[in-house]
Amino acid sequence: MLLSIDPRSQQPIYDQVVRQIKFAIASGVLQPGSMIPSVRELAKELVLNPNTIARAYRELQADGILETVRGVGLRVQSKARRRCVNEQRELIRARLEQMIREASTSSLAREEVEAMIDRELDRFFSPSSSDSTRTK
Amino acid sequence: MLLSIDPRSQQPIYDQVVRQIKFAIASGVLQPGSMIPSVRELAKELVLNPNTIARAYRELQADGILETVRGVGLRVQSKARRRCVNEQRELIRARLEQMIREASTSSLAREEVEAMIDRELDRFFSPSSSDSTRTK
Amino acid sequence: MLLSIDPRSQQPIYDQVVRQIKFAIASGVLQPGSMIPSVRELAKELVLNPNTIARAYRELQADGILETVRGVGLRVQSKARRRCVNEQRELIRARLEQMIREASTSSLAREEVEAMIDRELDRFFSPSSSDSTRTK
Amino acid sequence: MLLSIDPRSQQPIYDQVVRQIKFAIASGVLQPGSMIPSVRELAKELVLNPNTIARAYRELQADGILETVRGVGLRVQSKARRRCVNEQRELIRARLEQMIREASTSSLAREEVEAMIDRELDRFFSPSSSDSTRTK
DNA sequence: GTGGTCTAGACCACG
DNA sequence: GTGGTCTAGACCACC
Q: What is the pLDDT of residues D78-117, one digit of tens each?
A: 999 999 999 999 999 988 998 888 888 777 889 989 999 9
Residue D16, pLDDT above cutoff 60: yes
> Looking at residue A25, which CATH number applies to its domain?
1.10.10.10
Same domain, C68 and C33: yes
Range of the domain at A117: 106-136
Q: Are residues B120 and B73 in the same domain?
A: no
Phi-psi region of A5 (alpha: psi -120 to 50; beta: other; left: phi over 0): beta
According to the model, what pLDDT value does residue B132 have? 47
Cα B113 to Cα B107: distance, rounded to the nearest angstrom:
10
The reply to whether B4 falls in a domain is: no
> Do B60 and B17 share a domain, yes or no?
yes
B17 inside domain: yes
pLDDT score recorded for residue B129? 53
Would you say residue C104 has pLDDT above 60? yes
Shortest Cα distance from D101 to chain C (angstroms)? Answer: 6
Is residue D1 located within the same domain as residue D38?
yes
**Mean pLDDT for chain C overall:** 89
Shortest alpha-carbon distance between residue B122 and chain C (Å): 46
D63 and D76, same domain (yes or no): yes
Cα gap D128→D122, rounded to integer Å: 9
Quick check: is C2 in a domain? no
CA A66 to the chain's CA centroid? 15
Residue D93 shares a structural domain with residue D129: no
Same domain? For B40 and B75 the reply is yes
Q: How confident is the model at residue A132 (pLDDT cuts 50, 70, 90)?
A: very low
Does the structure show a pLDDT above 70 at C102? Answer: yes
Please give the distance of CA C22 from its chain centroid, rounded to a whole number.
6
Please report, in angstroms and rounded to a whole number, the separation of the first and last CA atoms in chain B.
Answer: 44
Taking residues B119-125, what's their average pLDDT?
A: 91
Q: Which of D70, D75, D78, D79 to mutate to test the interface with A (most CBs of A within 10 A)?
A: D70
- On whether residue C3 sits in a domain, the answer given is no
- Residue B100 in domain: no
The C-alpha atoms of residue C50 and residue C70 are separated, in whole angstroms, by 19
C26 belongs to a structural domain = yes
D49 CA – F5 C1', rounded, Å: 12
CA dihedral A98, A104, A110, A113 (to 10 degrees): -40
Same domain, B111 and B62: no
> Which residues in chain A (36-95) have CB-CB distances under 8 A to chain D?
49
Q: Does residue C93 lie in a domain region?
A: yes
- CB of B75 lies under 7 Å from some atom of strand F: no
Distance B21 CA to F12 C1' (A): 26
Digit-coded pLDDT (tens) for B12-48: 999 999 999 999 999 899 999 999 999 999 999 999 9
Residues A27, A65 within the same domain = yes
pLDDT, average across residues C35-64: 95
Read off the pLDDT band of D66 (50, 70, 90).
very high
Report the distance from CA of residue B40 to the C1' of nucleotide F1 in Å, as an integer.
Answer: 11
β-sheet bridge partners, residue B75? B35, B67
Q: Do C13 and B70 make contact, defined as CB atoms within 8 angstroms?
A: yes
| CA angle A95–A101–A103, rounded 5-degree value | 100
Q: What average pLDDT does this structure show over D18-45?
A: 96
Amino acid present at B64:
G
- Asked if D28 and D85 sit in the same domain, the reply is yes
CB C12 within 8 A of CB C59: no
Summarised one tens digit per residue, pLDDT across range A31-67 is 999 999 999 999 999 999 999 999 999 999 999 999 9
Mark whether C108 and C49 lie in a shared domain. no
Beta strands in A4-97 (DSSP E): 66-69, 73-76
**pLDDT greater than 50 at residue B136:** no
Q: What is the DSSP letter of D75?
A: E
Quote the CA–CA distance of B46 and C53 in Å, as a whole number.
Answer: 37
Residues 6+ away with beta carbon under 8 Å from A13: A5, A7, A48, A52, D70
Burial of residue D49, with CB atoms counted within 10 A of its CB: 0-12 exposed, 13-18 middle, 19 or more buried: exposed
B48 phi and psi angles, rounded to 5 deg? -125, 165
Residues D39 and D77 in one domain: yes
The span from the CA of C88 to the CA of C101, in Å, is 20
Q: Angle D65-D66-D67 (CA atoms, 0-180°, nearest 5)? A: 130
On whether any CB of chain C is under 8 Å from the CB of D29, the answer is no
How many domains, chain D? Answer: 2
Report the pLDDT averaged over residues B99-123: 87
Q: Does residue C6 sit within a domain?
A: no
Query: Who touches strand E, with Cβ under 7 Å?
Result: B 7, 12-15, 48-52, 55, 70-72; C 7, 12-15, 48-49, 51-52, 55; D 38-41, 51, 54, 57-58, 61, 68, 71-74
State which amino acid sits at residue B52: T
pLDDT band with cut points at 50, 70 and 90 for residue D132: very low
- Judge contact between A111 and A98, C-beta under 8 A: no
